[in-house]
């Protein structure tokens, strides 16, 4: 928000951040905003500016900020203890709720972050399959591990299945353990899996990749080819779990993987993630079932801690109520349709891509089916519109609108008004 006046308190915090934090931030949003509080679908910065919040903490706050039932559950638990490094009732109850909700879930293992969940999901698949290589899809985000940060957003496009590391510091050897396929290209993915099936420990994908829905038949085809060769299929549902449906994207799209990873919503805004899946694969976390040679050690100081577990349980209780998902989808659909109409009216080349709970505008008229097609979008136009929206009190990430249960019709109306005004500032707009 350069050029926007901050009060002295926020300015001092921004300056302090640049003294003690690399790039002056936590590695997430840029350093130009310091949030003081959030309630419902809105947040306020330290200078007192109010924003309609479509960032939602990068997705966890699906019910909105400071939901009273989640807050009540957390405040009741804190005086009783915050973590034990041992089983607790709330963590067990949350695991039961996950098993009841998700088609693939027979056993659950808790962790603290999506990165951990994805890393361990790939590891347990390799342990089960006794093969080293993982196939992922270009543009898919699977956390910050060496294997996850392969071909997420490659600056240099390579021939498939070559993996391109997205960060310095990743060992060269890690590249050899990851094969990369194009998302939504079933023929190409099937050919790669068939050619390398005896090397693959698992296949991991986001069933809804960042913003891009699966093409008809794509998930079904990947499920069929992996099942044919006995290769564990992992759905990364850190973002989509409990967002698209109570049973996750696997329920929404009607395709059941062997394993899935969860995060964000399932912890109700606290640090909690999970792997859920088939009992025979998850058995590798149980030394008594697989012996020393098959045992996959996994420990975490805060895994399944009772504060995060009660927050997750309270969140899932709200999500089970009739009409909850219908309301979120109606809100998101109104935003998507309104933005598409505004693009058309302004004569701006663009399309709204995604599903009602999670979408964005991509400034291109060409079809958006995979990572490489997103590169044809006008990134400068997106940055300009995002900046205009921020100035108008709309907070979102670089790409993505997260929709919550707390967003209102008034929020939708203000957002669409701000979006239309932002389009009007673009050069060459239709008068």
Q: How far apart are CA 197 and CA 134, in angstroms?
A: 10
Asked if 352 contacts 360 with a C-beta cutoff of 8 angstroms, the reply is yes
The predicted pLDDT at position 4 comes to 60
- By CB neighbour count within 10 A (0-12 exposed, 13-18 middle, 19+ buried), where does 409 fall? exposed
Establish if 141 belongs to a structural domain: yes
Radius of gyration in angstroms for the set of CA atoms belonging to the chain, rounded to a whole number: 22
Transcribe 73-94 into DSSP letters: HHHHHGGG-S--SS--HHHHHH
Establish if 3 belongs to a structural domain: no
Decide: 101 and 333 in contact? Cβ < 8 Å: no
Say if 12 falls within a structural domain. no
Same domain, yes or no, for 223 and 85?
A: yes
Count: domains in the chain: 2
Residue 168: domain span: 68-319
Cα–Cα distance measured from residue 406 to residue 112, given in angstroms and rounded to the nearest whole number: 25
Cα angle 137, 281, 243; round to 5: 55
Three-state secondary structure call for residue 50: strand
Whether residue 269 sits in one domain with residue 135: yes
- Residues 303, 327 within the same domain: no
Are 160 and 101 contained in the same domain? yes
Q: Is residue 201 part of a domain?
A: yes
| 170 domain residue, yes or no | yes
Q: How far apart are CA 152 and CA 138, in angstroms?
A: 6
The angle at the Cα of 328, spanning 399 to 308, to the nearest 5 degrees, equals 80
- Please tell me whether residues 125 and 138 are part of one structural domain: yes
Let me know whether 296 and 268 are in one domain.
yes
Please report, in tens digits, the pLDDT of each residue of the chain (431 residues total): 444 678 999 999 999 999 999 999 998 888 889 999 999 999 999 999 999 999 999 999 999 999 999 999 999 999 999 999 999 999 999 999 999 999 999 999 999 999 999 999 999 999 999 999 999 999 999 999 999 999 999 989 999 999 999 999 999 999 999 999 999 999 999 999 999 999 999 999 999 999 999 999 999 999 999 999 999 999 999 999 999 999 999 999 999 999 999 999 999 999 999 999 999 999 999 999 999 999 999 999 999 999 999 999 999 999 999 999 999 999 999 999 999 999 999 999 999 999 999 999 999 999 999 999 999 999 999 999 999 999 999 999 998 999 999 999 999 999 999 999 999 999 866 54
Residues serving a catalytic function are: 141, 236, 264
Are 275 and 172 within one domain?
yes
| pLDDT for the residue 2 | 45
Q: How far apart are CA 361 and CA 358, in angstroms?
A: 11
Rama region for 184: left / alpha / beta (φ>0; ψ in -120 to 50; rest): left
pLDDT at 1: 40
For residue 236, the SS3 value is strand
Q: CB burial class (10 A; 0-12, 13-18, 19+) of residue 66? A: middle
> What integer pLDDT is reported at residue 431 of this predicted model?
46
CATH of the domain at 283: 3.40.640.10
Residues 348 and 262 in one domain: no
Which residues lie closer than 8 Å to 200 by C-beta, 6 or more apart?
A: 129, 131, 133, 134, 135, 179, 193, 229, 231
Whether residue 217 sits in one domain with residue 309:
yes
Judge if 266 and 298 occupy the same domain: yes
CB 221 within 8 A of CB 255: no
Locate 31 and state its tokens.
Answer: 């350093």
Closest by alpha carbon to 312, among 30, 74, 19, 10? 74
Residue closest to 335 by CA, chosen among 274, 269, 409? 409
What is the enclosing helix (H) or strand (E) of 277? strand 273-277
In a domain, 402, yes or no: no
Interatomic CA distance for residues 311 and 210, integer angstroms: 25
The answer to the question of residue 11 being in a domain is no
The Cα 333–Cα 339 span in angstroms is 10
Please tell me whether residues 221 and 327 are part of one structural domain: no
Is the domain of 275 the same as that of 153?
yes
- Residue 51 to residue 178: CA distance in whole angstroms: 41
Q: Domain for residue 387, yes or no?
A: no
């Amino acid at each position: 928000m350069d050029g926007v006046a901050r009060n002295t308190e926020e300015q001092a915090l921004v300056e302090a951040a640049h003294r003690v934090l690399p790039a002056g931030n936590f590695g997430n949003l840029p350093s130009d905003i310091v949030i003081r509080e959030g309630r419902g679908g809105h947040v306020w910065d330290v200078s007192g500016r109010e924003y309609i919040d479509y960032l939602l903490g990068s997705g966890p706050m699906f019910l909105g900020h400071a939901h009273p039932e989640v807050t009540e559950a957390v405040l009741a638990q804190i005086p009783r203890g915050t973590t034990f490094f041992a089983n607790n009732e709330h963590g067990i109850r949350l695991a039961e709720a996950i098993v009841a909700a998700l088609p693939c879930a027979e056993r659950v293992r808790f962790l603290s972050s999506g990165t951990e969940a994805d890393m361990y999901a790939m590891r347990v698949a390799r342990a089960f399959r006794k093969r080293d290589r993982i196939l992922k899809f270009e543009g898919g985000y699977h956390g910050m591990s060496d294997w996850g940060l392969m071909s997420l957003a490659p600056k240099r496009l390579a021939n498939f299945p070559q993996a391109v590391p997205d960060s310095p510091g990743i060992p060269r050897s890690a590249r050899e353990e990851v094969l990369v396929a194009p998302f939504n290209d079933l023929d190409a993915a099937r050919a790669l899996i068939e050619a390398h099936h005896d090397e693959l420990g698992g296949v991991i994908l986001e069933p809804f990749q960042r913003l891009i829905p699966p093409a008809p038949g794509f998930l079904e085809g990947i499920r069929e080819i992996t099942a044919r060769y006995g290769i564990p299929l992992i759905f990364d549902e850190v973002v989509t779990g409990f967002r698209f449906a109570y049973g996750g994207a696997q329920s929404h799209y009607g395709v059941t993987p062997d394993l899935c990873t969860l995060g964000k919503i399932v912890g109700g805004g606290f640090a909690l993630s999970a792997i859920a899946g088939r009992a025979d694969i998850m058995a590798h976390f149980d030394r008594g079932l697989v012996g020393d040679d098959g045992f996959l050690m996994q420990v975490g100081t805060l895994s399944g801690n009772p504060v995060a577990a009660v927050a997750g349980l309270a969140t899932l209780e709200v999500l089970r109520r009739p009409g909850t998902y219908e309301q979120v989808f109606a809100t998101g659909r109104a935003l998507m349709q309104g933005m598409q109409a505004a693009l058309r009216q302004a004569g701006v080349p663009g399309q709204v891509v995604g599903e009602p709970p999670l979408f964005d505008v991509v400034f291109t008229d060409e079809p958006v089916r995979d990572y490489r097609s997103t590169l044809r979008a006008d990134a400068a136009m997106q940055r300009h519109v995002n900046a205009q929206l921020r100035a108008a009190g709309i907070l979102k990430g670089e790409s993505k609108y997260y929709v919550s249960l707390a967003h209102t019709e008034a929020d939708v109306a203000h957002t669409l008004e701000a979006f239309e005004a932002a389009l009007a500032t673009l050069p060459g707009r239709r008068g």
